[in-house]
Amino acid sequence: MTEKQVEICPIVRAIRMIGSEPKLLVVRYLMEEGRGFNQLVRMTKLSSKTVSAVLKSLEEEGIVKREVISTRPFAVRYSLTEKGRDLSDALKELGAWMERWETTVKATGLTNHHGEEDLARYS
């Protein structure tokens, strides 16, 4: 496969768009419900700088939307867009695939940095 063919492949483009662990963690927690910025920092255990960059990137990609809840005190809520909900369906399928083909996730060490099985409870 040539470099040009790889660039055209939609699977490769999708992985490049959402393929980092920080992005997947943020999307994972938004799959349950909309969340505030500080909630996402606490839940993902990522730095506020990383969460901020991830949210900005996901918002630019149309996966996450940002809604100002109040200005005093300032509060913002992040949630998945229709595109993001579509992505969460694909991630659930990916999690189901992993469960079908991996005897035990923990035995292979494929857990997130919390020691939890990623996306397993959403499949």
CATH assignment at residue 60: 1.10.10.10
Alpha-carbon span 43 to 48, nearest angstrom: 11
- In this predicted structure, what is the pLDDT of residue 18? 82
Alpha-carbon span 24 to 78, nearest angstrom: 15
- Residue 78 is assigned to a structural domain of this protein: yes
Q: Which two tokens stand for residue 18?
A: 């959402």
- Residue 26 is assigned to a structural domain of this protein: yes
- Do residues 44 and 16 touch, judged by C-beta distance below 8 A? no
Tally the domains of the chain: 1
- Residue 6 is assigned to a structural domain of this protein: no
Given a cut of 50, the residues of the chain with pLDDT beneath it are 115, 119-123
Domain that holds residue 33: 20-122
Residue 69 backbone dihedrals phi, psi, to 5 degrees: -85, -45
- In this predicted structure, what is the pLDDT of residue 121? 47
- In this predicted structure, what is the pLDDT of residue 42? 95
- In this predicted structure, what is the pLDDT of residue 27? 94
Predicted structure pTM score: 0.72
- Residue 59 is assigned to a structural domain of this protein: yes
Is residue 22 classed as helix, strand or coil in its secondary structure?
helix
- Residue 2 is assigned to a structural domain of this protein: no
- In this predicted structure, what is the pLDDT of residue 120? 47
